[in-house]
Chains A and B, each alone.
Chain A
Amino acid sequence: MRRTLLSCALLLAAGNAAAATAWVSNEKDNSLSLIDMQTLQVTETLPVGQRPRGLLLSHDNKLLYICASDSDRVQVMDVATRKIIKELPSGKDPEQFALHPNNRWLYVSNEDDALVTVIDTETSKVIGQINVGVEPEGMAVSPDGKWAVNTSETTNMLHWIDTSTQTLADSTLVDQRPRFVEFNQDGSQLWASAEIGGTVTILDVATRKILKTLNFQIKGVHPDKVQPVGIKLSADGQYGFVALGPANHVAVIDAKTFEILDYLLVGRRVWQLAFTPDQRQLLATNGVSGDVSVIDVQSRKVLKSIKVGRYPWGVVVTP
């Protein structure tokens, strides 16, 4: 009975996410794995630059940006033809990045240089470099385009960059090793994960003050292994999902009350997350076990694990 239900759920979910494609970067294989979200199978593997990590899509879903960290560049792939059409001068060791709502300015964190580089994707020119803390990592741009926020892992801060001047406006101290930042849909809140601190800090964007710090406790998992990394917030403002690294779980949070609702068991060292375009499914990359977990958002069930390349890192989904 349970099995039938599960397969029903699978069919239902698959039917609705028709023809969506997930793109997964494999850090140690220098490749992307493409997953057909209808069949939940890997359909293609594309070679890219060295040590691909962060992935993002242009706002029209036509271009895929790839941080090829050890090639010291950002590659631009045409989603339709799957060809690399351009390489951007990203500065050294790009790891994560974010695209401004104007679809042109790309904010890239350069881990080795304590810099954020701003690239105009149309002219391929660097239009700004901002000094931030040591080991810049997470990047996000607010939905209204006013703020670009960067995290620095050793400095333990969030750096607020004013996009109108491309200068540093403010810095907020958070817990140890902040790794990832994500704005909510209306841009009123910013969520930031701290890998060593083991916490997620939720800030009010208008005042840049801390609203809540989330701590995670999973039965049978030592607190040291709870190392939050990727965050995704559902568009309806209902849920927050946090990948907890070597705790091998994804936390489900009520985004209104900040209550932790559930922990979902996924693969080993879960890293980054992405929604399907219809927001019915959430994908999680599991670095050490080399697979991607498919989570059904409404039922909060892990439906399937799909084997990809070695050390999957980033993931995005095109419609």
Chain B
Amino acid sequence: MRQLVSYALIYLLAIASAALLATQSQADEGALSVRIGYLGYRPDPGPLLSNVIPEPNDAGERGAQLAIQDSNSTGRFLKHDYQLRSASVDSPEALLQAAQAQHAEGLRLFVVNAPAASLRQLSAALPDSLLFNAGSADDSLRSTDCLGNVLHSLPSRAMLADALVQFMAVRKWQRALLIVGQTPDDEAYAAALRRASKRFGVKIVAEKPWSFDNDQRRSAQADMPLFTQTAEYDVVLVADERGDFGEYVPYQTWYPRPVAGTQGLTPTGWHKTVETYGAAQLQKRFEALAGRWMNDRDFAAWIAVRSIASAVSKLRQVDPVAIQQLELSEQLPLDGFKGRKLSYRPWNGQLRQPIPIVQPRALVSTSPQDGFLHPVNEMDSLGYDKPEVTCRYP
């Protein structure tokens, strides 16, 4: 008898708890928790000649933080809760560990601000996740060596170079001297400039590697006029991604000509001087959050998180495969404050976007330039177009 009572009690308890669970899940209906991992690793650039103005060391992460705030503004009405888990580390090994730790917590959406080699490693280690590349401009990732679970929100070197050289073509700067720094990244940037020059009809009349094996009694500034004494050019192109010597080229060239590339007149994904199409409001929000100007990595991380949020708002779910499919469907216009709706190229996962061309304190132009036509989308005149991509994606 006593046993019967206790059974009945258990039975009643079970019913009660089931009912409780049911009400709870009803209350949470439609509620979503969207957890995004930010993985940052920037290798030490080594000793730099031009080190007066340091680069911010939280570039990228601050953009992702702002996008989480922006997305929660929609999320609070839809009961979608966006959270960022951040890891900024100082070695590729630590980055992989941080990624695996976040993955073990259940995260499947990541924004990665790291060099190409690290991105490849993470892409292979997290095959069931969707990664947004906000740190590597590497062209092979977008043309010969695609990563199936990666979308690129940072413009590729080819996009930057095409944007700049289109502008040069418009300004009729048809002859260029190309100066190339010593790192593989500088060589990759130079390769993108050569490719763009060929595409848009600019002639590279001379090319010189910057080795700084000049007379050591002279500073870089003093050496530059002699160094740039070559066949006549309309413009000097500089490939110096770290910012080692490039800042010393403007105003010191043998011929009095403009300087462009990684220094001087610069193509970039984002800059303080971008203000039209509502960009001023984004800049103000970012500056209030970070206390500094928003740069191209901040923007790449910001638009990556906003891409996720735009897809989640529409899909009402967080499945990485479904999100990637929607991003690549060209049916999800993204608002990037650049005057055009942005979308990802289905053939390599690159975010197509206008590229601002800036000098340090002003916007000079925005590419694609008028008149550079394309059968489908003028923005695809920048970077690797569909027929030029040899790898399979996604």
Identify the A interface with B (CB < 8 A). 111-112, 114, 133-135, 152-157, 171, 173, 175-177, 196-198, 222, 224-225, 246
CA distance A135 to B280 in the complex (A): 11
CA distance A114 to B341 in the complex (A): 23
Structural contact, B73 and A155, CB atoms closer than 8 A: yes
Say yes or no: A173-B281 contact (C-beta < 8 A), given A154-B73, A156-B313, A197-B333: no
Q: How far is the CB of B147 from chain A (nearest CB, A)?
A: 27
CA distance A198 to B339 in the complex (A): 12
Q: 22 pairs across A/B with beta carbons < 8 Å?
A: A114-B73, A133-B73, A133-B77, A134-B70, A135-B278, A135-B281, A153-B278, A153-B335, A154-B335, A155-B70, A155-B73, A155-B77, A156-B335, A157-B77, A173-B74, A173-B78, A175-B333, A176-B333, A177-B278, A196-B335, A196-B341, A222-B378
A198: B residues at CB distance < 8 A:
333, 341
CA distance A114 to B74 in the complex (A): 12
CA distance A114 to B73 in the complex (A): 9
Interface of A is mostly: loop
B378: A residues at CB distance < 8 A:
222
Interface of B is mostly: helix
Interface size class of B (residues with CB under 8 A): 20 to 34
Interface 1/0s, chain B 332-373, versus A by CB < 8 A?
011100011100000000000000000000000000000000
In chain B, residues 34-91, which have Cβ atoms closer than 8 Å to a Cβ of chain A?
A: 69-70, 73-74, 77-78
CA distance A314 to B78 in the complex (A): 33
Q: How far is the CB of B277 from chain A (nearest CB, A)?
A: 9
A154: B residues at CB distance < 8 A:
70, 73, 281, 335
Q: How far is the CB of A311 from chain B (nearest CB, A)?
A: 11
Most buried by B among A177, A222, A224: A224
Q: How far is the CB of A137 from chain B (nearest CB, A)?
A: 9
B313: A residues at CB distance < 8 A:
156, 173
CA distance A153 to B281 in the complex (A): 10
- Please name 9 further chain A to chain B contacts, defined as beta carbons within 8 Å, in addition to the given A134-B70, A135-B278, A224-B341, sorted by A numbering: A114-B73, A153-B278, A175-B333, A176-B335, A196-B333, A197-B341, A198-B341, A224-B340, A246-B339
CA distance A155 to B74 in the complex (A): 5
CA distance A198 to B334 in the complex (A): 11
CA distance A39 to B286 in the complex (A): 48
Say yes or no: A152-B73 contact (C-beta < 8 A), given A134-B285, A135-B278, A224-B340: yes
Closest to A135 in B: B281
Closest to B278 in A: A153
CA distance A222 to B343 in the complex (A): 15
A222: B residues at CB distance < 8 A:
377-378
Structural contact, A111 and B281, CB atoms closer than 8 A: yes
B379: A residues at CB distance < 8 A:
224
Structural contact, A156 and B74, CB atoms closer than 8 A: yes
Closest to B376 in A: A222
CA distance A173 to B316 in the complex (A): 12
Closest to A171 in B: B77
Contact of A112 among B69, B73, B281, B333 (CB under 8 A): B281
CA distance A156 to B335 in the complex (A): 10
Closest to B342 in A: A196
CA distance A224 to B285 in the complex (A): 26
Q: Is B386 an interface residue (CB 8 A)?
A: no
Structural contact, B73 and A134, CB atoms closer than 8 A: yes
Closest to B284 in A: A112
CA distance A30 to B377 in the complex (A): 37
A171: B residues at CB distance < 8 A:
77
